[in-house]
Amino acid sequence: MNIIVSFKQFFNDLRRQKLRSLMTMFGVFWGTCSIVLLFAFGKGIMEQQLISQKGIGDNIAIFWPGITSKEFKGLPSGRRIRPTEDDIRLVKSKAEMVMRISPEFSRSALLKVGKNSSSRRVHGVWPEFGAMRNVIPAPGSRFLNAADERERRRVIFIGNLLKEDLFGEDEAVGQTMLVNGMPFTVIGVMQEKNQDSSYNGRDSRKSYIPSSTFNAMFSRRYVGNFVAQCDPKVSMDMTRAEILEILSTKYKFDPTDREALSVWDTTEGFAFLKNFFMAFRIFLVGIGVATLITGGIGVSNIMNVVLEERTKEIGIKMALGARKSVILTQFIVETLLITGVGGLFGFVFAYAVVKAVPMMGLTEFIGVPEVDVTGGLIVVGLLAIVGLFAGIFPARRAANLQPVQALKLF
């Protein structure tokens, strides 16, 4: 019953307070919209960066042969340190913190499919390489496996752009292609990925064959480089130290010699990025809080501006027999409706913007923004609470007065 009274009152009141209601709604609209957009884009951008960064692989370090820069146990500096595939096997068997490891041999080769040909790098790697370096097979295909390696199969896994260069739109898996004139069966095509860092070019135009096959064809004594992935529970620093310890014992160099093997630890960049995004997130939350405070002040200001006339109105209604609960219900319904409508519009508007942006083709830089429904609801909820506090406390104060006091207050 009270609710019905309240609705009738509410619509009467809304009409009078057109401007106030609109302003309040706009405040809530604006707050909701800007925060939803802020978070949607912030999250999109962050995730895009993380995806790109992860394109090269998670928790990995890449090691290249180097030249010692320090004397060690009577041995001069300037010696070349070049690990072999056996050394990588040694590290694999001894290092406890290494989760995956693979040598990587590579050379340029002429790749041919029918009339199409391309001169690209071919890499000889172990099966672990794929998972470690985030070289993921597209559906319906696979990466190199242990049997390929063991039996020196002439199988090849190709990057998605290389596949397009050679096969166009045609199916590649199961087809034969020539590598320097030798026939290879395509077993897999890489799933498209974002990659913002690389060595020897992006993975999308590389091809991979078993390292055993590679050495049967090109017989290399030393690995071109090797890639190690550490257990996520330990740090890459410790893992690197462990690897260097094993290799320095074998090749007799100072394990602290940074040039004996050159290392690219991708987790360093990642750590930077993580810190950067932490700061970015704090910044976003800061702006969000500031927006909310501003919006809240706006909402409560508008609510308070009319306290004078509202108190008189409350006095009149009480004089005519309104119970306290009727008056409070009216204020609650009013505030919730105003914030609800404003919030809904803000949300819908932000949603539309978020949906429209990917159509403008900026995905590579800002990612695909995504509306955080929970976040949006929290914002609307907070503004509603601010509105309730701003609107209901004065209303409650007024409703607790004797009618004559409310009538005379101003």
Partner 1 sequence: MQEIIRLKQVKKAYQTGEMHFEALKGINLVVNKGDYLAVVGPSGSGKSTLMNILGCLDLATSGEYRLDGELVNTLSSNQLADIRNKRIGFVFQAFNLLPYATAAENVEVPLLFAHVNSKERRKRVTELLARVGLADKMNNKPTEMSGGEMQRVAIARSLANEPEIILADEPTGNLDSKSGAAIVSMFDELHKAGKTILIITHDMSIAEHTERLVTMKDGLIESNGDLSGRRVG
The Cα 384–Cα 388 span in angstroms is 6
Element (H, E) at 216: helix 211-218
Phi, psi of 116 (to 5 degrees): -80, 135
The strand ranges marked E within 90-206 are 98-113, 116-125, 155-158, 176-179, 182-189
Q: Is the Cβ of residue 142 or residue 324 nearer to partner 1 in the bound state?
A: 324
Contact by Cβ (8 Å): 13, 310:
no
Instruction: Compute the least distance from the CB of residue 276 to partner 1, in Å.
Output: 54
313 sits near partner 1 (criterion: CB under 8 A): yes
Please say which residue, 209 or 326, places its beta carbon nearer to partner 1: 326
Residue 150 vs 408, nearer CB to partner 1? 408
Stretch that binds partner 1, among 67-75, 94-102, 187-195, 311-319 (CB under 8 A): 311-319
Q: How far is the CB of 330 from partner 1 (least distance, A)?
A: 11
Q: Which of 12, 176, 185, 197 binds partner 1 (CB under 8 A)?
A: 12
The reply to whether 322 sits near partner 1 by the rule CB under 8 A is: yes
The strand pairing partners of 81, in sequence order, are 66
CA atoms within 13 A on the CB side of 270: 19
Terminal C-alpha separation, the chain: 31
Token pair in block for residue 126: 């172990």
Q: Is 255 helix (H, G, I), strand (E, B) or coil?
A: coil
Q: Does 176 bind partner 1 (CB under 8 A)?
A: no
Q: Is 188 in the site for partner 1 (CB under 8 A)?
A: no
Helix (H) or strand (E) holding 318: helix 307-319
Instruction: Determine, following the binding rule CB under 8 A, whether residue 299 of this chain makes contact with partner 1.
Output: no
Q: How many helices (H) and strands (E) does the chain have?
A: 14, 10
Q: What's at 396, amino acid-wise?
A: R
Tell me the closest approach of the beta carbon of residue 409 to partner 1, in angstroms. Answer: 13
Q: Determine the interface stretch with partner 1 among 67-75, 188-196, 317-325, 343-351 (rule: CB under 8 A).
A: 317-325
Half-sphere exposure of 243 (CA within 13 A, CB side): 33
Per CB under 8 A, does 9 bind partner 1? yes
Burial class (CB in 10 A: 0-12, 13-18, 19+), 81: buried
How do strand 116-125 and strand 207-210 relate by DSSP bridges? parallel
**Minimum distance of partner 1 from residue 390's CB (angstroms):** 21
Question: Between 136 and 392, whose beta carbon lies closer to partner 1?
Answer: 392
Give the angle 17-19-21 at the CA atoms, nearest 5°.
65
Beta-strand pair 60-67/225-230: antiparallel
Residue 8 within binding range of partner 1, rule CB under 8 A: yes
- Asked if 321 touches partner 1 (CB under 8 A), the answer is yes
Stretch of 8-16, 188-196, 246-254, 272-280 lying at the interface with partner 1 (CB under 8 A): 8-16
14 or 131: CB nearest partner 1: 14
Q: Does 356 bind partner 1 (CB under 8 A)?
A: no
Interface mask toward partner 1 for 387-406; x: CB under 8 A: ---------------xxxx-
Q: Is 320 in the site for partner 1 (CB under 8 A)?
A: yes
Smaller CB separation from partner 1, 13 or 259: 13
Q: Which is nearer to partner 1, 48 or 329 (CB)?
A: 329
* Given 3, 16, 150, 200, the residue binding partner 1 (CB under 8 A): 16
- Alpha carbons 158 and 161: distance in angstroms, whole number: 8
Query: Which chain residues interact with partner 1 by CB under 8 A?
Result: 1, 5, 8-9, 12-13, 15-17, 312-313, 315-326, 402-405, 407
